[in-house]
Amino acid sequence: MDEKNECIHMLKTIFIIIPLFTVSTVVAQNPSLLKLQKSKIFISDHLEYLEILNDTLLCSSLNSYADTAFYFFNNDTLCIGQTYRETDQTGTKEIERLYDYKMLKCTADTIILENIFRYFNKPDNWEDTLVLVNIEKQKEPVDNFRALKLDFFNPWSGEKKIIIDNKGRVTFIDTTTITLDRFLSPDRETKKQLFTGSFTPEEFIIFKNLLSRSLPSKLPPERNCPMDGAVSNFEIRLGARTITSTGCTLSRVHYILLDYLLGLDQNKGIVKKSELH
């Protein structure tokens, strides 16, 4: 039985006995990967990502249905398995997916995988050989940070505008729109929150480190937007350079930055100077 068929056989077995799947099984097959890579985020040139969460789960873009999936090893092959339900005209059925990658290299800061795409047509930007590098080794310099502006719009919840300058001063404007009954009535209720303040020195360091790890130079100038998608428009000034990016879809590293910014109103590392509700 070749390795690919072995992975499929192992996947079917795991779907059946997953409650009995133990940590020792995974560790026995490849202890070095788990020991070196757990909790690290690895990014490729095209912003594919891989993060080992624990001994049985990972978070990655290598599995298309959802970020989180379980994994196991078959010799030098990383096998990622997912199961989900799909409904069509014939009814609802359970779909099993296996994504397997030959491990060509595995060190503390680099994972190289031979990418095998099993289903339908390969995406246009598919990387046949995935070179995934520890994001800590790819951080971009932000010592010359001057300003960040974010305009965020969600058609169901409203708008947020956030401005951060090179002194760590923050302006946060949240215009929340609540649709009372979007099916029966166009009536809406709007609530506005505005505050200004400053990062504590410690929090400003955290922000700049996160900005560095988000690889701002790789933000596309324009991003795709699905119907009713949440729009996030960035303007980031680093020295004489201005990075602008408009649209909806974000890679994981950029989404982590967005999530941090949208939560600034709850951030305890900001000293608020004025607030208006």
Kindly provide the b/e burial profile for residues 202-214, where b requires at least 16 CB atoms within 10 angstroms of the residue's own CB: ebbeebbebbbbb
Question: What's the one-letter identity of residue 24?
Answer: S
- Tell whether the model's pLDDT for residue 7 goes beyond 60: no
Q: What's the pLDDT at 106?
A: 84
What pLDDT sits at residue 26? 37
Tokens 């130079």 identify what position? 217
Are 118 and 150 within one domain? no
**Cα–Cα distance, 264 to 272 (Å, whole number):** 11
Verify that 119 and 162 share a domain, yes or no. Answer: no
Give the domain extent around 224: 145-276
**Entry field: residues in the chain:** 277
- Residue 167's contacts (CB-CB under 8 Å, 6 or more residues apart) are 198
Is residue 140 domain-resident? no
Lowest-pLDDT range, 52-61, 123-132, 199-208, 226-235?
123-132
150 pLDDT band (50/70/90 cuts)? very high
Select the more confidently predicted residue: 63 or 77.
Answer: 77
The pair of structure tokens assigned to 40 is 């690290």
Identify the domain boundary among 114, 135, 156. Answer: 135
- Say which DSSP state 22 is in: -
Integer Cα distance of 178 and 180 in angstroms: 6
The token duo for 277 is 């509700």
86's CB contacts (< 8 A; 6+ apart) are 92, 93, 94, 95
pLDDT tens digit sequence for 21-61: 333 333 333 445 554 677 789 999 889 899 888 888 888 88
pTM: 0.76
Domain check: are 226 and 244 in the same one?
Answer: yes
* 256 and 158 part of one domain: yes
CATH code for position 168: 3.30.1560
Q: Do residues 204 and 222 both lie within one domain?
A: yes
Radius of gyration (C-alpha) of the chain in whole angstroms: 22
Q: Do residue 94 and residue 163 come from a single domain?
A: no
The domain tally of the chain equals 2
Q: What's the CA angle centered on 158, arms 153 and 160, to 5 degrees?
A: 60
* Contact predicate 197/207, CB 8 Å: no
Question: Do 266 and 149 reside in the same domain of the chain?
Answer: yes
Beta strands (DSSP E) in 107-168 are 110-115, 129-134, 145-154, 158-165
